[in-house]
Amino acid sequence: MDKRIVIIGGGTGLSALLRGLKHVTKDLHAVVNVVDDGGSSGLLRKDMDVIPPGDIRNCILAMSNSSPTLERLFNYRFDRGSLDGQSFGNLMLAALEQISGSIEASIQETSKVFNITGKVYPVTLSNIRLKAMLENGQEVIGESHIPMVALEQHSRIKTVDLLPTRPRTLPEVVEVIETADIILVGPGSLYTSLLPALLVSGIKEAIIRSKGKCFYVANLMTQPGETDGLKLSDHIRVIEEHIEDPIFDGVVVNSATPRLEILHEYASQSARPILLEEEERSFFADHNLAIKQGGYIMLKDGLIRHHHQRVVHDILDFWEELSI
């Protein structure tokens, strides 16, 4: 029987891991954050009052088993005229939401077209926005603005919250989390992808009730304006402080170092590798958190990305180790 795997978050990290997960189980569930207010998604959200479709589109593409041509069409982005910057896939999801009357029906119909492995869910149907408080006391509203303002003001993010606070998740999401064998949080932007999903009412509660193992899958690099200077243990600390409960059984983190020229390129943008440092081991031991390390780096178009096959292989091994 296939293991039930649930992955929670948003952004490119989530969709990258889904490309590997769809080959190891058909019982796959992606729970996607919906605070995106920039780019194509932001425009559609403003103009049509729809759930931002960008991260949902990326998950459907990652889980797709359709033809390459259909996938290219869904991912096509217009580059001229009144549709400049718009994604065809985002437009399709928004149009289907208007026709069907709900984002759930829109996702369901699109998932059929693309013959996806598993299911995709918005973490909530509420029209939520993200609010951040910076360390300098400045309040910033809007997911796309938060890292930018933090960089401009040279002030780290202190806390984030949702507007309105504690929106409810879907009953189906609660059910799949509670019955999951493996729950993955990340990879993804700590403050603008992962926490917006975990702060939705019902998510952490379902994780706590679940008998499955919950793993934090760490990003490969820090993100300017978001996690500058944060160590691996800081990511766990920030999550636990925000949701006020421990939810993780283990952490999956890269141990490989990129080539020097790649590191220099990222360093010029104030990004550095996230690795397990020796002095952090006591933190993880104190928190009863197991660690799984491996060489998870690959380069795609000059960018550091997760090697999804290796990560997925180690996640399954990790689950086996902790389930004995």
How confident is the prediction for the chain on average, in pLDDT? 93
- Cα distances (Å, whole numbers) of residue 30 to 5, 66, 75, 285: 9, 18, 19, 30
Calpha distance 305→320 (Å, rounded): 25
Amino acid at position 291, single letter: I
What share of the chain in percent tops pLDDT 90? 77
* pLDDT greater than 90 at residue 288: yes
One-letter identity of residue 168: R
CATH of 5-33+123-323, picked from 3.90.1170.30, 3.40.50.10680, 3.40.190.10, 3.30.230.10, is 3.40.50.10680
d(CA 250, CA 244): 18
Lowest mean pLDDT: which of 28-37, 85-94, 237-246, 285-294? Answer: 85-94
Tokens representing residue 180 in the block: 């999951």
- Residue 219 gets the label, from left (phi > 0), alpha (psi -120 to 50) or beta, of beta
Name the pTM for this structure.
Answer: 0.95
How many Å apart are CA 207 and CA 202, to the nearest integer?
9
Q: What confidence score (pLDDT) does residue 279 get?
A: 96
Contact 206, 177 (CB under 8 A): yes
Q: Is 159 helix (H, G, I), strand (E, B) or coil?
A: strand
Query: In the chain, where are the structural domains located?
Result: 5-33+123-323, 36-116
Q: Tell me, what's the pLDDT at 37?
A: 79
195 CB contacts (<8 Å, ≥6 apart)? 160, 238, 239, 242, 243
Report how far residue 200's alpha carbon sits from residue 189's, in angstroms, rounded to the nearest whole number: 16
Q: Phi and psi dihedrals of 306, rounded to 5?
A: -70, 135
Number of residues in the chain: 324
Mean pLDDT of 70-82: 87
Distance CA 136, CA 151 (A): 12
On the question of pLDDT at 42 being above 80, the answer is no
Residue 273 has pLDDT above 90, yes or no: yes
